[in-house]
Amino acid sequence: MSAEKRLKQLGIVLDAVTPPVANYVNAVRSGQLLFLSGKGPSAVAGVRPRGKLGREFSVEQGYAFARSVGLALLAVMKSELGSLDRVTRVVKLLGMVNAEPDFADQPQVINGCSDLFVEVFGERGRHARSAVGMGSLPMGIPVEIEAVVEVAAARAAAAPAHSRARRVTAQRGASKRAAKARRR
């Protein structure tokens, strides 16, 4: 199923992409890969969550934060590509959890994003992943996630087919001219 159709089916409306908070860009494309910069959880009532998992926040709250980060990453993908249907594979996630030193449930927290990507992309959303604990994250956010996705070429596939048709036509024309020349 199309990722765009799946979003609609799930009732998900993506927010506008938030601008970077420092000297970087939201995404960089290199070949067929799109590298997405780390994003933090959405602000609630204009306030961005601050605190550590295992102290201020539970695993369930962390899961919800990671899901909101996944939505922000989807918004970046859509903004960069025009359609989520151009994502051929979610390749890798790096999930960072601002946690107390003895907190050990980073994988369950980052599942908030991983589960979302599988819901939206199906099998193409399954990915390699690291879920690690951090002593702190920028602005005290509880979760930050970055991603790498594989991307289909943008309608460039039509150009080679057109060029191929021209080559075939030119080859046929050359063959006909050669046959005509041999008959003379």
- Each residue's pLDDT tens digit, 4-33: 999 999 999 999 998 998 999 999 999 999
pLDDT tier at 181, thresholds 50, 70, 90: low
- Each residue's pLDDT tens digit, 80-131: 999 999 999 999 999 999 999 999 999 999 999 999 999 999 999 999 999 9
pLDDT, mean over the chain: 89
d(CA 99, CA 162): 55
- Residue 157's pLDDT is 41
Residue 100 φ then ψ, to 5° = -65, 150
Q: What proportion of the chain, given as a percentage, has pLDDT over 70? A: 84
pLDDT tier at 153, thresholds 50, 70, 90: confident
Residue 158 pLDDT greater than 50, yes or no: no
- Tell me the average pLDDT across 148-156: 84
Q: Cβ distance 97 to 53 under 8 Å? A: yes
**DSSP states of 126-148:** --EEEEEEES--GGG-SEEEEEE
Taking the complete model, does pTM exceed 0.85, yes or no? no
- Each residue's pLDDT tens digit, 132-141: 999 999 999 9
pLDDT tier at 159, thresholds 50, 70, 90: very low
- Return the beta strands (E) in 65-106 as ranges: 87-98
